[in-house]
Structure 1
Amino acid sequence: MNTKPLVKEIMRFGVVGVIATVLHYGIYYFLKAITNVNIAYAVGYIISFIVNFYLTSYFTFGTTPSWKKLAGMGGAHLINFLLHMTLLNIFLYLGISKVWAPIPVFAIVIPVNFLLVRFVFKHNKL
């Protein structure tokens, strides 16, 4: 079995993930000063999701975006978003500061997200 394509795919996913995560965190970081942390986090997530979808389509998996892929990725990200929000609030409850609480969230949800998104783009033939 040739694992090179999978390794390259994971590396491209990582690049896209870093871009989406930095965008998400940056938006969250600035909005948390003027609004509720959950709203700031959600707005950052939505904007980074849109960018992530196009980068994932073109760069990570080399496919063209479609409404079906958007729906599939949206479903995967709905699960991912719920996991994000749950973990964020758990870490805030445990006393981690608003500035640092997203960091362990990202560490947990990024691998889960890869598996969900890869399934949508590779196995559904959308």
Structure 2
Amino acid sequence: MLTARSRPIPRQVVVFALVGVINTMTYYGLYLLFLTCFPYLLAHVLAFGLSMIGSFFLNARFTYRTRPTWRKFLLFPLTNATNFLLMTVGVYVIVDVLRAGNRFAPLLASAAAIPVTFVLSRTIMLPKGERDHALPAQEPTTIP
């Protein structure tokens, strides 16, 4: 059975970052693919939605070591709402205001959203008692 307590917060941050790299590469690949057929904002929205599904399962399994449930799956998009808003505004500003081009805009815009996404996803994925502080690895608790 997977346990959240077996992974201390600093390790969660490292694994979250690695999952984020995979998620970002997936997002960016999908964004470039969709950009060939759709306007940049639609390409962004589609790529973001699809990569978020993968992010949920990777974070459940590897970052938080918790069982994915329908409840968590349905709440997980809420954790990305701030990330989505920050990235969308960032992409718009970079492309339409700064006229810097649309190919690298999502990568630049995502930098500010990463810490917020970690805190929010941790809140959704872990029960309150397990996210309030770093828990010792020798006291694992199975997540139902």
TM-score of the aligned structures, taking structure 2 as reference length: 0.78
Residue pairs, 1:31-70, within 5 angstroms? 31-70=34-73
Q: Is the 8 A contact 2:79 2:121 kept in 1?
A: yes
1:107 corresponding residue in structure 2:
111
What's the secondary structure of 2:126's corresponding residue? Answer: helix
2:8 corresponding residue in structure 1:
5
What's the secondary structure of 1:102's corresponding residue? Answer: helix
Q: Please give the alpha-carbon distance, in whole angstroms, between the structure 1 residues aligned to 2:128 and 2:42.
A: 32
In structure 1, list runs of 5 or more residues that go unmatched.
none
Deviates more, 1:54-63 or 1:107-116: 107-116
Q: Please give the alpha-carbon distance, in whole angstroms, between the structure 2 residues aligned to 1:75 and 1:21.
A: 18
What's the secondary structure of 2:66's corresponding residue? Answer: coil
Q: Please give the alpha-carbon distance, in whole angstroms, between the structure 2 residues aligned to 1:74 and 1:101.
A: 22
Match of 2:88 among 81, 85, 101: 85
> Identity rate of aligned residues, in percent?
28
Residue pairs, 1:22-33, within 5 angstroms? 22-33=25-36
Deviates more, 1:72-81 or 1:99-108: 72-81
Q: Is the 8 A contact 2:82 2:113 kept in 1?
A: no
1:116 corresponding residue in structure 2:
120
What's the secondary structure of 2:67's corresponding residue? Answer: coil
In structure 2, list runs of 5 or more residues that go unmatched.
1-6, 130-143
Q: Which string of whole-angstrom CA distances, capped at 9 and with x for unpartnered residues, describes residues 74-124 of structure 1?
A: 111123212221111011121111111112111111121111111212345
Q: Please give the alpha-carbon distance, in whole angstroms, between the structure 1 residues aligned to 2:127 and 2:110.
A: 25
- Bigger proportion of residues as helix: 1
Q: Please give the alpha-carbon distance, in whole angstroms, between the structure 2 residues aligned to 1:50 and 1:22.
A: 14
Segments of 4+ in structure 1 off by > 3 A?
Answer: 123-126
Q: Please give the alpha-carbon distance, in whole angstroms, between the structure 1 residues aligned to 2:42 and 2:11.
A: 35
Q: Name the structure, 1 or 2, with higher relative contact order (CA <8 Å, separation 6+).
A: 2
Question: CA RMSD for the aligned pairs?
Answer: 1.8
TM-score of the aligned structures, taking structure 1 as reference length: 0.89
> How many residues are treated as equivalent by the alignment?
123
